[in-house]
Amino acid sequence: MISALFTDLYELNMAQAYCVERMADRAVFELAYRKLPDHRNYIVAAGLEDALRFLERFHFTMDELDWLREQRGFSDPFVSSLEDLRFTGDVYALPEGTPVFPNEPLLQVVAPIMEAQLVETALLNMLHFQSLALTKAERIVRAARGRQVVDFGSRRAPGGDAALSVARATYLAGGHGTSNVLAGRTWGMPIFGTMAHSYIQAHETEAGAFEAFASLFPETTLLVDTYDTLEGVRLVVDLKKRLGDRFRVSAVRLDSGDLVALAREARRMLDEAGLGSVTIFASSGLDEYHIAHLVETGAPIDAFGVGTKMAVSADAPELDMAYKLVEYAGKGRFKLSRGKTLYPGRKQIFRKILDSRMAGDTIGRFDESLPGAPLLRLSMLAGRIQPQPSLEESRHYIQQQMAQLPEELLSLEAAVRPYPVHFSENLKSDLESLRSRTCVLVP
Amino acid sequence: MISALFTDLYELNMAQAYCVERMADRAVFELAYRKLPDHRNYIVAAGLEDALRFLERFHFTMDELDWLREQRGFSDPFVSSLEDLRFTGDVYALPEGTPVFPNEPLLQVVAPIMEAQLVETALLNMLHFQSLALTKAERIVRAARGRQVVDFGSRRAPGGDAALSVARATYLAGGHGTSNVLAGRTWGMPIFGTMAHSYIQAHETEAGAFEAFASLFPETTLLVDTYDTLEGVRLVVDLKKRLGDRFRVSAVRLDSGDLVALAREARRMLDEAGLGSVTIFASSGLDEYHIAHLVETGAPIDAFGVGTKMAVSADAPELDMAYKLVEYAGKGRFKLSRGKTLYPGRKQIFRKILDSRMAGDTIGRFDESLPGAPLLRLSMLAGRIQPQPSLEESRHYIQQQMAQLPEELLSLEAAVRPYPVHFSENLKSDLESLRSRTCVLVP
């Protein structure tokens, strides 16, 4: 579990200030991103499960408080007040798997200001990367057009918890599973894996390695590119000849070279040897662009192992995501920082559906009645997690959500017309009225 | 601590195969990257501390083994053999902070093949991201030319582990510290933080917020861009007038807009008010390119808070890093996969220094005598960590290392001539001799 000390120092400074100033009123913070990265038409919300668990368990340990007392700037009464601090607020959020557009809150925290402030860093950390990872995984799975996608990214994911998040995201996105054993155990999802080059290399001959492995794992996938890919395929065909009916190898894996040409030739060789049931698994620096290309050229590849590019969301590794105060003590709060204007007040997103497709969103006041379905749902009440979907339910939900996206947003490149999102008239007038009452040089 | 189940399934499959085949000889695996990302002339090795700790504590818990027994494909005798499995091998590695070039091993594991195989995924996960993070942080700190750099990246780092790694990397690179309280506690490094926009917004007036915060934290930094940056600076000047000698605010922070113009005007206003000692702190999407530009234009900025771009290594989020078998049972092992040729045998890197600058590396056999200093050092002996440098020592070491880099590699863009790295004649002939004995269609 993430420690309550996983926070930026300023959160603790501000918490002490709120404490001293007796500012204990209810605050509303909203977490949203400001603009889409290149190559993205939407972001798929994720990270809520971890965020809610973090909030429910949020507390400082005695050991942490003892350490805090020794730090400069913190008074004893303040640190003591942290002893019993728990997160007691409400959270409204988009279910994981919901497409979300710029300026739309993915998550809304309604809590005494000190509590809401202290959890900022951890909440952003979880939602930011997990949303990027799910968005990337969804693109990759979609590009594969029904072919299996397996997460191979753990070795190059940015850290251990990122590896686990990426495995989960792959499965949520409709992928087949992961190579990571711990992730498979943690979420009860399918785990895949065969052999590495080292296994082949450690044997005196490639043929010997294939035979030994297939005798232990009869339905295995054999990695054929250690020395020469097509020579490797020929050895698989030889193995069939030697084993006869005992041959049950299910696939060959290509991990280097020109995958289109090699897959075609491998397919031809396998088919010619009566091995039509042996499938072709490809890996090697794949992402949605490569996969879309392989699928379009008709390369006879049945499944993809996807690693690094997915694990780091290579073409969009960051999102301008922030957690902002929009209401305190019942009053709307705003910001005018250049390029980062913030609309005041607690919000709701209303999404219109026409002919089973999303047709535009309006961001309005939380209590407005506007056309469309409200998207932010109560996820935590008074510090208690409300019933959440299972992994399988979320996996199903994201499929439904993707089917409702306008066709033009499903391109791997930026759509000509972005999805329409507007602020409601009430919100606009709330901003104007606050702006006009603020005595500053507004551009 | 990272679980031993944090591994790719194929490692366990191969482990069982090695077990069944009675392959228990000593293997040598080397961890290296194949090519430099764009905009990089070197990678700074990192992640060793975590890797060694992982290896020293490596074991499967009873609970994990019970779970493994239930999984398809694993035999009882194999799972039972994992009960007492510990990492008993030796590790040779580059000290954290050493510049490393393509194909040079950062880490070399010498251990019974099963042990060496099972730790692959975790070792790569740690060294890959941490090396990218330290490389990025070093560029950012260097671009700041002596101005302070503080890590603000935790909220957008790709996961909790990554946030802590980035904080540590920033400090190792010569940065001033981090905003992350847990990171500061974990490594005993300086922690920085002031106030967020939310604190200003929660107050009825910006002036009131400044005054309240400064009374609690007299030497604080005031964030001035919530509504209008220069108006915010004017309020700081007003505060000085009101507080007189009690005014001890140390800095203002700019977090949006045209930082060059705003810093100049803020500096002018502060100086005019006799506040020459109040420094200017800038943040807002900064990276080494922005910072170099700000420094070159002479913007009067004294310190930088750097977040997202550093935390995700935005312009180089991945590295083609792999962990490869090069020796088993005393024999060199190699690979000919297209574009991924692997030289056989255990290696050493020999680095020549001329006139206090690195003048070229030779990758040779481990036991060769070649000009230059051998770089791979014994870091773990028979499963025990050998004395390692402290954080401060590593921080000092990286400075020394950077001072030895050839001038042309210190550009933020790719150098015209890459750093010279050659394989020794012996290694070349080892590859040729293995290649000629391998009966495959070699291009």
Instruction: State both tokens at B238.
Output: 């007003």
Q: What local confidence, expressed as pLDDT, does residue A72 receive?
A: 87
| Structural domains in chain B, sorted by start | 9-133+318-437 (3.20.140.10), 137-311 (3.20.20.70)
CA geometry: angle at B363 spanning B362 and B367, to 5°?
110
Tens-digit pLDDT profile for residues B43-73: 999 999 999 999 999 999 999 999 999 998 8
Question: Which member of B13, B217, B334 has the closest CB to residue A195?
Answer: B13
Q: What is the mean pLDDT of residues B324-353?
A: 92
Residues of A within 8 A of B334 (CB-CB) are 201
Whether A69 and chain B come into contact, CB under 8 Å, resolves to no
Inform me whether the pLDDT recorded for B441 exceeds 70.
Answer: no
CB < 8 Å to A336, chain B: 226-228
Q: How far is B357 from chain A (nearest CA, A)?
A: 32
Write the pLDDT tens digit of every residue in A99-121.
Answer: 999 999 999 999 999 999 999 99
**Residue B439 pLDDT class (50, 70, 90 cuts):** low
- What's the pLDDT band for B1 if we cut at 50, 70, 90? low
Q: How many CB atoms lie within 10 A of CB B416?
A: 7
The closest alpha carbon to A402, from A44, A32, A35, belongs to A44
Which residues of chain B neighbour A314 with C-beta distances below 8 Å? 317-318
Contact between B159 and A9 using a beta-carbon 8 Å cutoff: no
Separation between Cα atoms, residue B401 and residue B135, nearest integer Å: 12
Q: By CA distance, what is B443's nearest residue in A?
A: A228
Give pLDDT, residue B41.
98
User: pTM score, two decimals?
Assistant: 0.97
Contact across the interface for A6 and B154, Cβ inside 8 Å: yes
- Rounded to an integer, what distance in angstroms lies between the CA atom of residue A107 and that of residue A45? 9
* B442: its two tokens: 């070699």
Judged by CB atoms closer than 8 Å, whether chains meet at B256 and A328 is answered as no
Candidates A7, A71, A159; nearest CB to B165: A159
Point out the residue among A9, A308, A318 whose CB comes nearest to the CB of B312: A318
B6 touches chain A (CB under 8 A): yes
**Nearest CB to A159: which of B16, B154, B159?**
B159
Which of A9, A21, A161 lies closest to B160 in CB terms? Answer: A161
Span B231-250, pLDDT tens digits: 999 999 999 999 999 999 99
The 10 Å Cβ neighbour count of residue B382 is: 9
In B, which residues are within 8 Å of A31 by CB distance?
A: none
Residues B34-68 as b or e (16 or more Cβ within 10 Å = b): eebbeebbbbbbbbbbbbbebbeebebeeebbebb
Taking the C-alpha atoms of residue A222 and residue A176, their distance in angstroms, rounded to an integer, is 19
Which residues of chain A have a CB within 8 Å of the CB of B227?
335-337, 438, 440
Question: Considering only residues 159 to 188 of chain B, which have any Cβ-Cβ distance to chain A shorter than 8 Å?
Answer: 159-163, 165, 179-182, 184-185
Q: Between the CA of residue A46 and those of A39, A92, B48, B160, what are the distances in Å?
A: 19, 14, 32, 15
Assess A432–B contact: CB distance below 8 Å, yes or no: no
Count of alpha carbons within 13 angstroms of residue B303, beta-carbon side = 21
Contacts of B27 in chain A (CB under 8 A): 198, 202
Whether B73 and A120 lie within 8 Å, measured CB to CB:
no
Alpha-carbon distance A164 to A311, whole Å? 10
Q: Which pLDDT tens digit goes with each residue over B291-310?
A: 999 999 999 999 999 999 99
Is B21 within 8 Å of chain A by CB? Answer: yes
Per-residue model confidence (pLDDT) at position A440: 46
Q: Which residues of chain A have pLDDT under 70?
A: 1, 438-443
Mean pLDDT of B316-320: 97
- What pLDDT shows up at residue B254? 97
Inform me whether the C-beta atom of residue B131 falls under 8 Å from chain A C-beta atoms: no
Res B338: pLDDT: 76
The shortest CB-CB distance from B333 to any of A5, A202, A285 is to: A202
Name the residue of chain B whose CA is nearest to A340's CA: B256
Mean of pLDDT values over B353-359: 97
pLDDT at B259 over 80: yes
The region that residue A382 occupies, defined by phi over 0 for left and psi between -120 and 50 for alpha, beta otherwise, is left
Nearest beta carbon to residue B318 from set A229, A255, A308: A308
Q: Among residues 75-114 of chain B, which lie with CB inside 8 Å of chain A? A: 113
Residue B440, pLDDT > 70, answer no
Which residues, numbered 133 to 152 in chain A, qualify as contacts with chain B under a Cβ-Cβ cut-off of 8 Å?
A: 152
A356/chain B closest Cα distance in angstroms: 34
Instruction: Give me the pLDDT at residue B442, please.
Output: 38
CB A378 within 8 Å of CB A76: no
